Structure 1
Amino acid sequence: MAFTLEQHDPDTYRRKARMISIAMAGQLVVFGLLFSMLLAATFGGSFWMNALGVLLGLLATSAMFAALRERPWMTEMRYVWQLKHHLSQISGYLQPLRRGIEEENRVALDIVTFYHQGMSQLAELNGRTTDDDAERLAEKMQIKIKREALGLPEQVNSFDPQDLRAFKRR
């Protein structure tokens, strides 16, 4: 299934990410303490009962988070998780993709163009800049020139993970 880049407001994303992180950390603390106290009251206090309480708190927090991740107010978070997943997937194939670019493989050009656009968008959403990586900027320029020479559009807004199958590590 193809993944398409979407536009999201960086300030909204960062605000929601902070709030959700704080809420989940607070929930983990509360559940961890609650389970530790219940276990200590039931079976007696020990290091292992406290550790089990924290583990149960982590499981309860994870279950709550899994139940809430499909809510509409989690749209930006879900999108960023998916974007990170796909960028990570592509990064595992960068060497074969770069060989494909040297051979002017259009699929490789599309995937690496998407990768650079996704990395830029991720940096923007997180409030960072990516203009300080000379190697990455040089690769982007090389790809832009090759795309222009082949008559390909400058932007690639979607990525199909199935396209990576052609680039198994050679």
Structure 2
Amino acid sequence: MQLQEVDKPRYRKHLNIIIVAAIIGLSVLSLSISQTLIALFPSEDGTHFHWNLFGVICGSLLIGAGIGKYKDHSFMIEVVYVWHLKQALNQITRKLQKVKDAVAQGDVSAMHALHFYYSGNRQLWQLDDNMITMDELAIWQAELDVQAQKYNVTLDLALYDPLILKSL
């Protein structure tokens, strides 16, 4: 995965629309499904928890299928990109200590992975207006730059290969 420029106002607007539509859709679907099932199969003891749960599960699956069907639509470009970026960063997060240990030993691929991780987090945090940890991120990036300079490595985002994580 390569980092891409994201139009922040467009991303935020589309993400908010998708979230609101999903909430409204889930509410309408789960209530209509559960109420239909309650009307068709009433319970003698008056509890309808299982029908309500079934309605929520079916509504969630239908919303997920709808989002999956339209994920390639131009409206979803930024939101899907950020979703994929979060997945890529999560893969690195799960092996972060091993990546950092490999960087300390001079592993060039691990340095590229860590550089991608820091750059991706910077982009995410800027999109989400999470500026609290940006100072720490700058410190971490400076530490990586020192390691890269120590081993005479030029950091390049294009050289990150997710397969490096499997070998760590």
Normalised TM-score (structure 2): 0.88
Indicate if the aligned counterparts of 2:109 and 2:160 stay in contact, CA closer than 8 A.
no
Indicate if the aligned counterparts of 1:148 and 1:154 stay in contact, CA closer than 8 A.
no
What RMSD in Å do the two structures reach over aligned CA positions?
1.8
Q: Is 1:131 paired with 2:124?
A: no
Counterpart for residue 69 of structure 2? 67
Distance in 2 (CA, whole Å) between partners of 1:18 and 1:97 is: 34
Distance in 1 (CA, whole Å) between partners of 2:52 and 2:101 is: 53
Letter in 2 for 1:77: V
Counterpart for residue 140 of structure 1? 141
Q: How many residues align?
A: 163
Per-residue deviation at 1:151?
Answer: 4.0
Of 45, 50, 53, 1:51 maps to 53
Aligned residues with identical type, % of pairs: 27
Normalised TM-score (structure 1): 0.87
Indicate if the aligned counterparts of 2:89 and 2:117 stay in contact, CA closer than 8 A.
yes
Residues 6-64 of structure 1 deviation map (CA, whole Å, 9 limit, x = unaligned): 00011211111111000011000010111012111211252322222222222221221
Letter in 2 for 1:152: V
Letter in 2 for 1:12: R
Question: Tell me, which stretches of 5 or more residues in structure 2 are unaligned?
Answer: none
Q: Higher relative contact order by CA 8 Å / sep ≥ 6: 1 or 2?
A: 1
Residues 138-159 of structure 1 deviation map (CA, whole Å, 9 limit, x = unaligned): 3311111232344433542453
Distance in 2 (CA, whole Å) between partners of 1:123 and 1:154 is: 21
Of 7, 10, 13, 1:12 maps to 10
Question: Tell me, which stretches of 5 or more residues in structure 1 are unaligned?
Answer: none
Distance in 2 (CA, whole Å) between partners of 1:160 and 1:78 is: 20
Letter in 1 for 2:134: D
Per-residue deviation at 1:132?
Answer: 4.2
Counterpart for residue 114 of structure 1? 116
Distance in 2 (CA, whole Å) between partners of 1:27 and 1:21 is: 10
Indicate if the aligned counterparts of 2:113 and 2:160 stay in contact, CA closer than 8 A.
yes
Per-residue deviation at 1:110?
Answer: 0.8
Indicate if the aligned counterparts of 2:2 and 2:158 stay in contact, CA closer than 8 A.
yes
1:156-167 superposed matches below 5 A: 156-157=157-158, 159-167=160-168
Indicate if the aligned counterparts of 2:115 and 2:141 stay in contact, CA closer than 8 A.
yes
Q: Is 1:29 paired with 2:31?
A: no
Residues 119-164 of structure 1 deviation map (CA, whole Å, 9 limit, x = unaligned): 000101112213243xx44331111123234443354245321121
